[in-house]
Amino acid sequence: MENQTIKKKLEEIKSVLGEKGNEILAPNKEVKELFEEKFQSKTFINAGFNLMDSNGSDRTLYTITFTDDSQVFILTGKISSRNPYEVGHAADEGMDLRKEQITIYIYDGGSTITEMILNTKESKEYKGEFGKPEALLPHLKKTAGTSIGVKKY
């Protein structure tokens, strides 16, 4: 039986994911573990936003493991483009105007990971050695930036 804290966090995540949330986080699957890890990207740090709030972050990675050993990884956060004016420096009261992106990775418990980018509706499948969390997670964390903390629900 999932505890109330996990249920509440799952509802928050579903609201961010919109329609896909109910599909991906199906009520018939029981959650074994739920982790939320916050990151600060290089852009966030270089703009000085980390100095304003050391606990501030611009990216989050949710790791949800179900009792059937399937998993869902959800990476949310600001993404950089080539426009140097999207992020003003925090010392100058600059604003972070980068776009938000949500990428979902669904691991089937075997050897396939399906990647979905919600903003663009792009989808890819990774199989074999690249279809396992051991290959995916280090890459996701490196891409996300500097970890500032993990919370287990």
Q: For 73-119, how does the pLDDT look when each residue is reduced to its tens digit (9 = 90+)?
A: 999 998 877 766 667 776 677 777 788 899 999 999 999 999 999 88
Structure-model confidence comparison of residues 70 and 49, the more confident one: 70
d(CA 94, CA 145): 21
Statement: residue 55 has pLDDT above 80: no
- Contact call for residues 108 and 70 (beta carbons, < 8 A): yes
CA-nearest of 65, 76, 78, 74 to 29 is 65
Q: Which residues contact 66 (CB under 8 A, 6 or more apart)?
A: 29, 30, 31, 32, 72
Instruction: Provide the pLDDT for residue 8.
Output: 93
Instruction: State pTM to two decimals.
Output: 0.87
Could you tell me the pLDDT band of residue 51, with boundaries at 50, 70 and 90? confident
**The residue type at 149:** G
Q: Which residues contact 12 (CB under 8 A, 6 or more apart)?
A: none
In tens, the pLDDT along 16-28 reads: 998 888 888 877 8
Instruction: Provide the pLDDT for residue 74.
Output: 97
Buried b (16+ CB within 10 A) or exposed e, 122-152: eeeebeeeebbbeebbeebbeebbeeeeeee
**The residue type at 78:** K
Average pLDDT, whole number, for the chain? 88
Share of the chain above pLDDT 90, in %: 56
Instruction: Provide the pLDDT for residue 1.
Output: 43
d(CA 136, CA 115): 11
Query: Measured at the alpha carbon of residue 26, what is the angle toward residues 143 and 8, in degrees to the nearest 5?
Result: 75
In which element (H, E) is residue 152 found? strand 146-152
56: left (phi over 0), alpha (psi -120 to 50) or beta: beta
Structure-model confidence comparison of residues 45 and 94, the more confident one: 45
Residues in the chain: 153
